[in-house]
Structure 1
């Protein structure tokens, strides 16, 4: 059964356009090249007018998820990309939720 990962990041003030541009130009193509399946990306504004970036990623199962993580988040990522990420998003705001499909009978 596939796993869908819902990730939410609170953007720092005035970082929306820079974040979205970087995600589109660099982050998403890099992660996809490493085997990440990105289903969709979203932006929403919460009740305090903070902007959040939300995205959905899909994996075949937990073993696949761990394999893709190992391929993606290497030393280069930790050294070069991770510091830049936290220039644009609030590190403590990161939320990752694993979603499992539910069959609902109507």
Structure 2
């Protein structure tokens, strides 16, 4: 997780992730053209993103296609929110149950003639 936080700590790398997410399969050259730094600097940023597994690259001839991988971010999210999600799901179920039972108490009862 440290590698993910380190990768996300830099504004340029976050912007690169945004671009790759919006344009899956974008080439390194096309991505580099969106930045006012050298292609080598972009490659260094991409290396950090790949080490954190946030970017997956695929060689296609002389081009490297880039794809966003959300799994590491999802793992971080799950680590700190799973227990709260379960708690609130349980609370909502309890409220639903209470509302349904109170609603059924207010229903008029039918008389049984026998």
TM over 0.5: no
Which protein is richer in strand relative to its size?
A: 1
Q: Which is greater in Rg?
A: 2
Which protein is richer in helix relative to its size?
A: 2
